[in-house]
Chains A and B, each alone.
Chain A
Amino acid sequence: MTAMGIKQSARWWSGIFCLALALAPTDLLAQETEAVEEEPVGERVVPTNAFLVSGYGTVGYVARLEGEDENAFTASFSPILLFQFQDRILFEAEFEFELTEGVTETGLEYAQLDYVATDNLTVTAGKFLVPFGVFGERLHPTWINKFPSSPPIYGHHVAEFGVEPLFPILSDVGIMGRVTIAPEPWQISLNGYVTQGPALEGEFDLEDEEEFHAPEFEFPASSADNNTGKMPGARIDVALPPWFEVNGSFLNGDYDDEGVLDLTGWNIAAEFRHSNFEARGEYLQVRQELETEEGFPTLRRHGFYAQAAYRFGPWEPVFRWTKIFDDKLEDDKVAEGARQIGIGIDYWFSPSVAVMAGFELNDESGVELDNDRFVIHVGFGY
């Protein structure tokens, strides 16, 4: 019990440390290279409050190419509501409606209050997209993601009969501080947060399972936390915009109801862009404690995706390679990995409207049947 107490308080302290890091240096670092006065020059329009609707959606089709004959029409719609109060407060929320196997799933993707504290610091509270890696926070909207499905290390959009995600993170409830400085030509940010953290999905007892697999977890983001442990995390972004960026992320929390089983994730992401060419990738690793008769061994799961795209006029071919490694706990306990090769092409009608089509060649270790898919959709943002 005391060990747990120490672990809890260590986590709280590291959470506070992350936030403090995010909050502290603003005044020290507030040396903008281009000193722009706070008052707008000339007659700039700054409303005292404003309401705006934006968002995105898709209409599409997905088919399995081998084995069982499965296919489905898909549709999703994600309205975003923005309410701005003066120039310091923004309330933003995104709803999600998605057809999945005949039922319409609804979700609250995020609902957050942003407070612009200084030129370099924003504080956010509520349910927000977690800055762990970059895909979930920046790229998952369907007019932004250049491939018609999400990379399998994360899962999310068009998950029907695809590969099981390695780390299903998107949003969570908590508080976050974001600091940015822009010493010409760099752009450097630190995003620190504390959220409710992950929970075990369903029941899991290692001894009862017929085949070994890692216990699945999710980020339920409900107001009732499943355990008392909170999840601190942080991401640092170093960019030389628009050409280059690297991000390093870390998070740590408990995922079982008793708050004993530890989950640690870290991620390294990078992107590179030159004229019509763009390449990006993310590597992530999850260390997950399991409970066995001998104690609490750690299963280390890891994987990556790498993507390249090149634009010719309105056409943009996309190549995405994802790998989830087999991870061994003991000789007879292997969490199976998977591999996906994605080949796709986009046709852009405008910067935020495109038809995207792709083949996914999916191979899961230990699974006989290939799980290849064809996915096509019209993605639009407004």
Chain B
Amino acid sequence: MKAINRVRASRSLGCFLAGVSLLLPTSAGAQDSNEAELIMSGAAVYGKMCGRCHNPRSPIERSDREWVTIIAHMRVRGNLTGGQVRQILAFLQATNTDPGQPTPIASSADVVEGAGTPGAVNGELEAPIRLDLAERGGQVLREKACLGCHVLGGEGGNVGPKLDGVIDRRDLGYLRRKLRDPTFDNSTSMMPNLALSQEEVEAILAHLAKKRE
């Protein structure tokens, strides 16, 4: 096994060096898109595999390191393949926001009641969409692997409902809450809490609104 690892390591080192010496920006771009694809496919595999025996657990429950060990545990218990393990880990580690540190679970109180929390009062749940953030929103939908589970514009996975038209189906207040805390209306949702910042939420809404036009 080690030999294979070594072969693979030297192969990818070779590729890496070739990439660097030829076209540095392109190869860095390719790396990013591979990574993004891996994370996205990870979201889909998570959606398929992680709610079969028990309710799905949110990526932000655990740190990067902890997920490595837990997924090793689940690999044995749940008969996952090595490929699936790498995909799921990429997704969990990319979306738990804080590598190395366990993140406290955002409480629904922050978003739902939120009386004392600045920026979360009911009026703002209905605030108008800031279309200038639309481009950033497209980026967030990828970074947070939303498209691993949701279709938007014919692209994406089918773990969750289509995001096309969701902006018309649901009111803004609902969407703002749902994105901040997916369990607020469904305590065992397959949609993980991705600890989105308020800005990210606004950017996603802007992107969804722009797509509609």
Judge: A and B partners, yes or no.
yes
Q: Name A residues whose Cβ lies closer than 8 Å to a Cβ of B.
A: 32, 34-42, 44-47, 50-52, 54, 82, 84, 87-88, 90, 92, 114, 116-120, 122, 124, 137-139, 141, 143-144, 178, 180-182, 187, 189, 191, 237, 239, 241-242, 245, 271, 273, 311, 313-314, 316, 348-352, 381
B68 proximal to A (CB < 8 A): yes
B25 proximal to A (CB < 8 A): no
B51 proximal to A (CB < 8 A): yes
CB contact under 8 A between A348 and B188, given known A34-B83, A41-B34, A84-B69 = yes
In the complex, per-residue mask of B173-190: 1 if CB is within 8 Å of any chain A CB, else 0: 000000000010111100
Q: Which chain A residues border B169 with CB–CB below 8 Å?
A: none
B93 proximal to A (CB < 8 A): yes
Interface range on chain B (Cβ under 8 Å from partner): 35 or more
Q: Which chain B residues border A141 with CB–CB below 8 Å?
A: 54
- Residue of chain A at shortest CB distance from B5: A38
Say whether A39 contacts B89, CB under 8 Å.
no
Say whether A84 contacts B8, CB under 8 Å.
no
Q: Which chain A residues border B73 with CB–CB below 8 Å?
A: 54, 82, 90, 92
- Residue of chain B at shortest CB distance from A134: B53
Say whether B53 contacts A37, CB under 8 Å.
no
CB contact under 8 A between A178 and B76, given known A350-B187, A352-B54 = yes
In the complex, per-residue mask of B65-86: 1 if CB is within 8 Å of any chain A CB, else 0: 1101110110111111111101
Say whether B76 contacts A45, CB under 8 Å.
no
Total A-B contacts with CB atoms under 8 angstroms apart: 153
- Residue of chain B at shortest CB distance from A40: B86
Partner-contacting stretch, out of B41-49, B110-118, B131-139, B198-206:
B41-49
Q: Name B residues whose Cβ lies closer than 8 Å to a Cβ of A.
A: 1, 4-5, 8-9, 12, 31, 34-35, 38, 41, 47-49, 51-58, 64-66, 68-70, 72-73, 75-84, 86-87, 89-90, 93, 99-100, 105, 183, 185-188
Given contacts A36-B38, A41-B31, A349-B187, 4 further A-B contacts (CB under 8 A): A32-B83, A42-B90, A122-B75, A141-B54
Say whether B188 contacts A138, CB under 8 Å.
no
Say whether A182 contacts B84, CB under 8 Å.
yes
- Residue of chain A at shortest CB distance from B185: A313
Partner of B64, one of A45, A54, A350: A45
- Residue of chain B at shortest CB distance from A273: B52
A141 CA to B55 CA, complexed, in Å:
12
A243 CA to B185 CA, complexed, in Å:
23
Q: Which chain A residues border B52 with CB–CB below 8 Å?
A: 239, 241-242, 245, 271, 273
Q: Which chain A residues border B93 with CB–CB below 8 Å?
A: 44-45
* 9 chain-A/chain-B pairs, Cβ below 8 angstroms: A35-B83, A45-B99, A54-B70, A82-B72, A90-B69, A90-B76, A189-B79, A241-B52, A313-B187
- Residue of chain B at shortest CB distance from A49: B69
Q: Which chain A residues border B48 with CB–CB below 8 Å?
A: 241-242
Q: Which chain B residues border A143 with CB–CB below 8 Å?
A: 54
Partner of A119, one of B35, B55, B76, B81: B81
Say whether A116 contacts B72, CB under 8 Å.
yes
Partner of B90, one of A41, A117, A139, A189: A41
The minimal Cβ–Cβ distance linking B185 to chain A, given in whole angstroms, is 7
Q: Which chain B residues border A90 with CB–CB below 8 Å?
A: 69, 72-73, 76
CB contact under 8 A between A42 and B35, given known A87-B72, A114-B76, A351-B187 = yes
Say whether A118 contacts B70, CB under 8 Å.
no
A120 CA to B65 CA, complexed, in Å:
23
A41 CA to B186 CA, complexed, in Å:
34
The minimal Cβ–Cβ distance linking B31 to chain A, given in whole angstroms, is 7
Lowest 8 CB-CB distances: which A-B pairs, in order?
Answer: A119-B82, A351-B55, A189-B79, A45-B64, A314-B187, A180-B79, A36-B83, A348-B187
The minimal Cβ–Cβ distance linking A56 to chain B, given in whole angstroms, is 10
A9 CA to B31 CA, complexed, in Å:
55
CB contact under 8 A between A47 and B82, given known A40-B90, A122-B76, A313-B187 = no
Q: Which chain A residues border B81 with CB–CB below 8 Å?
A: 32, 119-120, 180-182
Say whether A138 contacts B53, CB under 8 Å.
yes
A42 CA to B32 CA, complexed, in Å:
8
Say whether B8 contacts A38, CB under 8 Å.
yes
CB contact under 8 A between A50 and B80, given known A40-B86, A349-B187 = no
Q: Which chain A residues border B82 with CB–CB below 8 Å?
A: 32, 36, 38, 116, 118-120
Q: Which chain A residues border B183 with CB–CB below 8 Å?
A: 350-351
A337 CA to B8 CA, complexed, in Å:
59
- Residue of chain B at shortest CB distance from A80: B73
Say whether B55 contacts A348, CB under 8 Å.
yes
Q: Which chain B residues border A34 with CB–CB below 8 Å?
A: 41, 83, 87
